[in-house]
Structure 1
């Protein structure tokens, strides 16, 4: 545990003075508001997009990087723009594929002490930076017409289950969620079926809230079939 971690833990247990509350907590509201306002203003104009989630640690020569780039490229060829977390790894691959397809390429970056930095494939006027994860997640969901979830770590799982929860609880529409990589996601899907479902913590129909695929073609076809039901074809 770092000295910074120690400090943060100790600060949480210390009583605050009124001046500290005004300085550190109350004024943070305005920073939060500014991030929401900037996000709403910039993203309201981007058109139909799909958010691509995945690990920042994936190297450029990895099969998942190449697959994420191809998914993004094919999405742009079918009328969608792409939103990513704006950093390296899978996020970079998503923006790179969108740029290769001449589609909208959005990056929602987050300031972190490691891993995260802007990738060079984001449209220059669609690169946003956030201090707060929760504001960033609102932007992912509010301006996406679907979600592609590539292999990733805790952050990716957080984004996946955020989207599933909002759809399950009907807080947002039932947009398509595609998990790419049956081998990677297989163990989690088995646990969801054999533990969550068996314990009665989810309903059988909740298993239909997402689709697991292996290829870019399967992922994009799922989006096309979904929107064909509504006689919708984005950006055409």
Structure 2
């Protein structure tokens, strides 16, 4: 979560998301139709969501995790409420969200039935059996122009193959550190770095995900199925319905 928080801070400093999410730009009109909506999946202590609020004060941010985590999460939000105010309001809420249950009717989807503008998740998927539910939840809380910022640390190659094999059927994926480096190079008139992400010394990688169209998703699923071994496919598709 710390790597994710630092990336969001740097992205805000560079105004890096103004084209991805215009409502988060530093020069966005003070009055917009509605504040940008952001959600953190698997919040834990809520560091990622609080980092969104610190980096983008106009955003309404929802922290989500399992019901049994809510007491500690709410306590942490209350403990830091003085740092999270915007125009006198605390625009950050914690609410339960269990990926493995039916998502229809849950509070996050009731508040944002058409999806969130920004979704963050930090190191919250390391068990293969959670991957289908996680990706299904990502699909449920995003719309076609949403940006997902995912922090991921590999714990097993099998889990990594399963996660990205499933994600890549529904989302494009870009290295987030390389994205910031290319923007910085362009802003200073420098030629793009050969591999900007290689300079980042961290086991935790940050990725930007953007939804594929439904047609593209079907094409990518077919490509994925052609590449995957039968074992990988069984790991990914076990219990998975889209």
Alignment TM class, shorter chain as reference: 0.3 to 0.5
**Structure number with higher strand proportion:** 2
TM-score by length of 2: 0.41
TM-score by length of 1: 0.42
**Structure number with higher helix proportion:** 1
